[in-house]
Structure 1
Amino acid sequence: MMNKTVTEGAKRPEYSVQPVVRALAVLRYIAAGNRCRKISGAAKATGVNRTTLIRILATLEAERIIEALPDEGGYRLGTGLISLAAEALNDRGIVPSARPVLSKLVEKLKLSAHLGVREGHEIVYLARETPVSHLASTVREGTRLPAHATTIGRILLAELKRQELQALYADYPLEAYTAKTRTTLDALMDQLADDRARGVSWSMANFEPEIGSAAAPVYDHRGEAVAAINVTGYASIFTEGTEQAALIERTLKDAAQEISEALGYRGWAADQM
C-alpha cells in the first residue's frame, strides 16, 4: 500500500523540484535565441528572480551547459548540453536508421529533409539533412514547432483517433500561422482525414510564406507511427498535379517505408493484400 501511494504521488506536479524547473526555464529561454544580456529582462521573461537567475547562469556555465559570449555578451548553449543532446538523439534507434535515408532524399530531390516526433501539441526535430543551396533549411535539431500547423505534426496527428484529438485540443487554441492554418478542431480533423487517406501531408506555404513541405509517417515494429519525415523547399516546387510533386510524394513514401522497415515494421505487405 505504501509503495502504491508513493508511486501515485510521484506523478503529481507538487513533487517537481523547483530549482530544476527554473534552470530548465532558463535553458529554454537561451535555446530560443535569447542571450540573457540584460539580467532584469531575462528574469522577467523566465519568471526567475534576478538573484536566482545569476546563480543558475553561473552554475550552468560551470557545468558547460551554457557558455559565455565574450565579444557579444550574454550566453549560448554550451558543448556540454550539445553532447548530452547528441547522445540522447543517437540513443533513439530511429535517428541512426533515418540519417542515411534522409541523405538519399536530399541527393535525389535536392530539398531539405527532416525527421521529427510529436510531443503533445508540438513536434521536435531529431535530425536534418540539407542540400548545398541558399534555401537550405535553417531548422535545427531540437527545434519545436506547432503540430497542427506543420506537415510532420499533421501526419502524426492523423494517426490519432478522433477521441484522442478531441482530448488533446479540448482546451488548447489552434493558433494561425498563415491564412491556410486550420484554427478550429473540426477543420483540422477534416484536413487530417485527407492526410491520412493520402498517406502524406502536403503544404504550399501553409506554415511559412513561399515554403512548401510534405511529410510521411514512420512506423515501428508494433505498427505505431513513432515519427515522420518531411522535405521542404520553394512552395512552387510543391504545386500539385505536376511531375515534380508526384516525384516528391513517391520518393518521400519510399523513404518512410525504408526507415520503417529498418525499425522492424512489416505492415506494408499486409497493406498490399
Structure 2
Amino acid sequence: MKDSAVPATDTPDSEGGNTYSVPPVHRAFTLLRHIASGGRCRNASATARDLSINRTTLIRLLHTLEAERMIESDDDGLSWQLGPGMIVLAADALKSRDVVRVARPVMARLTHELGLSSHLGVLDGREIIYLLRETPNSHLVSNVREGSRLPAHATTVGRVLLGYQLPDALERLYADVPLAKATEKTSTTLDTLRAQIATDRAQGFAWSAGNFERGIGSCAAPIFDHQGRTIAAVNVTGPEANFTLDTPQAARIEIAVKAAAAEISAALGYSGA
C-alpha cells in the first residue's frame, strides 16, 4: 500500500503547522511519544487509528525504529517499548546539556580574563560542533556561532578530541578521505595529522597560529567526564599576534585554557586519574 493512502491528517500543515516540515518525521515522533507514554502498539489497526497514521505506514515505522534501536520488542513484534538506542541518545543529550551548563560560567571568566572569544565543542565524525560561545566586549570577536561545524583536523578543538580517539578509529575516519587545506599550516595527510595530535595530547593542549584561518590563533584543551572520557574541548581564539609561542602572553593563554578545562572536568566528576 502506498503512502498516498495516508489520511488527510498526515499533511504538513496538520502535523507541524509548517510547510517545510516532513510528515514521516512527525509520524515517527508521534509514535515514539505514544510508546514512551506506555502505548505498546499491540493492536496495529487500533494504534494507527488512534494516532491518525496509515496502518502500513505504522508497521514500517515500527520496524524502522527497531532497526535503529530506538524501540524493541520482547515478544516477536506483538508489543513495543523504548529501546537502548533511544536511552543512549537521551543520555548523550543530557550529558551535552550538562557540560554546557557547567562550562558557561567558566568560559565567561576565561573570556573576561584573556579578552578573547572562547568556545565549547564536541566531535561528530570528521567535524566539530560548537555548543557554546562567549565573546569579549570588543569588536574583534569570533564569527563562530553555536551550532557551527568546522573540520576537526584543521581546528584546535578537533585536534584535541581526535587525539583521544583509538588509532583504528582515526584510520576509519580518514581512510581515503582528503584532508582539506585551510591554510599552508593545516595538516593535509593522515601521517602529519597523527604526529600533530600526538604532540597535542602529550602537552595537554592544541595550539594554532594561523592553522585554520590566517591571522587567527587558538588554543584548546580537553574536557573529561566522571569516567575519564574526553567528551568536549574548550578553546580561545583571537588575533594571531597574541599566540606567538614563547611569549608571556602565550604562556598566560595556555595556563588559563588548561585551568578552565580542568575546572569544567572536575565539576563533571573527573578525578584527574
Instruction: Please state which band the TM-score falls in when normalised by the shorter chain.
Output: 0.5 to 0.7
1:92 counterpart residue number: 97
Could you say which residue in structure 1 is the equivalent of 2:84? none
Change in CA separation of 1:187 and 1:90 when aligned onto 2, cut-off 3 Å: closer
**1:146-205 deviation line (CA, Å, top 9, x unaligned):** 000000000000111222211111122111010111111001001011101110000001
Corresponding position: 1:107 with 2:112 = yes
Q: 1:31-71 CA distances to partner (integer Å, 9 max, x unpaired)?
A: xxxxxxxxxxxxxxxxxxxxx9xxx9952389xxxxxxxxx
2:208 is aligned, of 166, 191, 203, to: 203
Aligned residue for 2:146, secondary structure, equals coil
| Partner in structure 1 of residue 181 of structure 2 | 176
Rg larger in structure: 2
In the alignment, structure 2 segments of 5+ residues that lack a partner are 1-11, 23-92
Q: What is the 5 A alignment of 1:117-132?
A: 117-132=122-137
Matched to 2:265, the amino acid is S
Distance in 2 separating the partners of 1:170 and 1:148 = 13
Q: Kindly state the Cα deviation for residue 209 of structure 1 after the two structures are TM-superposed.
A: 1.0
Relative to the length of structure 2, the TM-score reads 0.66
1:59 equivalenced with 2:64 (yes/no): no
- The residue aligned with 1:258 is 263
In the alignment, is residue 133 of structure 1 matched against residue 93 of structure 2? no
The residue type paired with residue 160 of structure 2 is I
Picking from 154, 158, 161, the partner of 2:159 is 154
TM-score (norm 1): 0.66
Sequence identity percentage: 57
Cα separation, 2, equivalents of 1:118 and 1:102? 19
Q: Does 1:144 align with 2:104?
A: no
User: Which blocks of at least 5 consecutive residues in structure 1 are unaligned?
Assistant: 1-51, 63-87
Look up the SS of the partner of 1:222 in the other structure.
coil
Residues 60 and 234 of structure 1, relative CA distance in 2, 3 Å threshold: same
Tell me the distance in 2 between the aligned counterparts of 1:193 and 1:263: 25
**Partner AA of 2:193 in structure 1:** L
Question: 1:212-256 CA deviation, whole Å, 9 max, x = no partner?
Answer: 000000000010100000000000100000000001000100000
3-state SS of paired residue (1:92): helix
What corresponds to 1:167 in structure 2? 172
2:187 aligned counterpart, secondary structure: coil
Tell me how many residue pairs correspond in the alignment: 190
* Off by >6 Å, runs of 4+ in structure 1: 88-91
CA-to-aligned-CA distance 1:64-112 (integer Å, 9 cap, x gap) = xxxxxxxxxxxxxxxxxxxxxxxx6896200000000000001100000
Given the alignment, which residue of 207, 217, 224 partners 1:219?
Answer: 224
